[in-house]
Structure 1
Amino acid sequence: MPLADQDLSPPTDLATAQALIARVRAQLDAEGLAMRAPPPEPTTCCGRGCNGCVWEGWLAAVAYWRDEASLLLG
């Protein structure tokens, strides 16, 4: 079963990314599909809002992980 429309938008913050990961994992589990774990949350953010913050990279990695899951879910 394909991902729901709400799961096709790129995550924009920690809360939406965590919710997306939970929904996608639940759907993978429900369909009995195995996939690599989602990217771990960063632990090295300095909190200064740097251009190219580790959180930006993590959100992009979560979106990529979601895209891979979407391929598995068809």
Structure 2
Amino acid sequence: MQTSDLAALPMRNRAEAEALVCRVQLALTDRGVALRAPPPVPDSCCGRGCNGCVWEGYYAALRFWREDAIALLAR
């Protein structure tokens, strides 16, 4: 898988985020590259749509994790 393909993977919901993690981890394993674990899935969401929801933080952290993985794979 090309790094541009990894960058294009959507993460609009939990299922897409989990699929992204699997694809990125597979690409890392295939190339023999080690990277820290992805951010943990939140388990403390109250479901009220708060500004600054734990899911917003999760998706931001996941974007950084994906960027780090892409940078490692591009080397």
| TM-score normalised by the chain length of structure 2 | 0.88
Unaligned runs of 5+ in 1: none
| C-alpha contact 1:42 1:55 (8 A) present in aligned 2 | yes
C-alpha distance 2-73 of structure 1, shift in aligned 2 (>3 A)? farther
What is the number of residues matched between the two proteins?
73
Distance 1:2 1:36 in 2: 20
- What RMSD in Å do the two structures reach over aligned CA positions? 1.5
Q: Report 1:26-41 matches (<5 A).
A: 26-41=26-41
Identity of aligned residues (%): 52
Structure-1-length-normalised TM-score: 0.89
* More helix as a share of residues: 2
Which amino acid in the other structure matches residue 16 of structure 1? E
The Cα of 1:43 is off from its aligned counterpart by 1.1
Higher RCO (CA 8 Å, separation ≥ 6 residues):
1
